[in-house]
Amino acid sequence: MSAVLPPLQIGPLTVATPVVLAPMAGVTNRAFRTLCREAGRSTGFDPGLYVAEMVTSRALVERNPEALRIVTFGADETPRSAQVYGVDPATVGAAVRIIASEDRADHVDLNFGCPVPKVTRKGGGAALPWKKQLFTDIVCAAVTAAEPYGVPVTVKMRKGIDDDHLTYLEAGRTAESLGAAAVALHARTAAQHYSGTADWTAIARLKEEVRTVPVLGNGDVWAAEDAVRMVRETGADGVVVGRGCQGRPWLFADLAAAFNGSDARVRPGLREVADAIYRHGELMIEYYDGDEFKGVRDLRKHMAWYLKGYAVGGDARRALAMVSSLAELREHLDALDLTLGYPGDDAEGPRGRAGSAKTPHLPYGWLDSRDLDAEFEAKLREAELSVSGG
């Protein structure tokens, strides 16, 4: 067996398998990261990089308890990876300094990919790189804050606002010149949201422009074969996996095997899926400091993802999506026909709601200039909301 790619180098960090778990709000908390990491390690190959949910810079600077929980990692998590979102350079710099100086993470990623309307309508997320100087100032502030502590900073972004307002090539070159350790591209525009097909040719174009740091590709990686095809078609140095692993933490076993030249794949029957769901519930309760109801309630949204393609019936699905305790979870899982095997293609492919393309919500006059005026700068402070995506 021979590896598809060499290890991924992000500043001083060496990631043996060039696969990154994308930060997803409400999904990639410590519980889910544990499942993904365990799956990757089960292959005998070194796993990839598992990024925590996004934390807003303002919340972190204000020492919000939930923000601090997000950047609290398990003892077995190494390297520790956090993502920061913000629109004010000073606040982003202060947040990154907290993470680096307090040894809360080994890597910080900056989110410039969020397409959520309530962020973009205030100029944040995927809309922000349109304002060239603001993007430059934020990346510079983060890199400067992290550098004394040896913590690499990376950038995750989209192609741009829409097909007429693309920013990814310029933003990639800027991030590289400012000392970012890698750039990742979700090959969709904000207008696409999660609809349509990711434009992998854009990843190849970015790779041609950014030559001194790794370029990572994101978008439409639903299986290990997709990931391998992406890097071969684009020349990317690794892949970022988001929605493809929802309800399938074992995808990281497939990815670890594939990138190390093995054709081994996990094809779980319903009993194995039920065991994963129950373990996820236990880990969620642990994550919420023993609060059983909160932990199990947070698990509910994962049920449809886990059970995609399995013949369990509507009543069972609805019951599992309403569980309130571990005992109730166990009861409903045990009531399933756990002898059912892997359903094949029905369990594969896209997961979650893709939605449809839509006109991005932007501040009035946002596209009139690449520069940021004082009025817009004041309004941007409102864009630091606890939402994520990219």
Residue 229 annotated as binding?
no
Residue 23 annotated as binding?
yes
Cα–Cα distance for residue pair 293/60, rounded to 1 Å: 26
CB 103 within 8 A of CB 75: no
Cα–Cα distance for residue pair 195/217, rounded to 1 Å: 17
Tokens of 192: 């696409």
Buried b (16+ CB within 10 A) or exposed e, 31-47: bbbbbbbbbbeebebeb
CB 81 within 8 A of CB 37: no
Residue 83 annotated as binding?
yes
Among the options 36, 114, 140, 245, which is catalytic?
Answer: 114
CA angle 38, 31, 181 (to 5 degrees): 75
Q: Quick check: is 245 catalytic?
A: no
Cα–Cα distance for residue pair 287/66, rounded to 1 Å: 11
The residues near 92 (Cβ < 8 Å, ≥ 6 apart) are 57, 84, 86, 110, 138, 141, 142
Residue 24 annotated as binding?
yes
Dihedral, 325, 328, 333, 335 alpha carbons, nearest 10: 180
User: Given phi > 0 = left and psi -120 to 50 = alpha, else beta, which region is 361?
Assistant: beta
The residues near 62 (Cβ < 8 Å, ≥ 6 apart) are none
Q: What is the CA radius of gyration of the chain?
A: 20
Residue 230 annotated as binding?
no
Query: Which of 69, 70, 64 lies closest to 28, judged by CA?
Result: 70
Residue 156 annotated as binding?
yes
Q: Residues at the annotated binding site for FMN?
A: 23-25, 83, 156, 186, 242-243
Active site positions, annotated: 114
Indicate the annotated binding residues.
Answer: 23-25, 83, 156, 186, 242-243
